[in-house]
Amino acid sequence: MLYGTDYWDRVLNIDALVEHGMIGAEDPDRIFRANSMDEAYRYITGELLEYALAEPDGRM
């Protein structure tokens, strides 16, 4: 989760990280960007409901 796309787009060059092998080609798809607290909250709670709370023991 990156909060504030204007900031992160200026300081983090994800394409360069992939190009130099620092992260995998599929990793940028795992980064969620949010510009509002509501957007971030929806993403985080949705991920928790789908992945952490979907299991009977509550593990991720």
C-alpha closest to that of 3 among 46, 40, 48:
40
pLDDT in the model for residue 9:
92
- The per-residue pLDDT for range 7-50, each reduced to its tens digit, is 999 999 999 999 999 999 999 999 999 999 999 999 999 999 98
pLDDT in the model for residue 53:
79
Contact 31, 2 (CB under 8 A): yes
Task: Give 51's contacts (C-beta < 8 A, 6+ positions apart).
Answer: 60
Grouping H, G, I as helix, E, B as strand and the rest as coil, residue 2 is strand
Contact 58, 52 (CB under 8 A): yes
pLDDT in the model for residue 59:
60
User: Would the CA dihedral through 15, 28, 8, 5 be positive or negative?
Assistant: positive
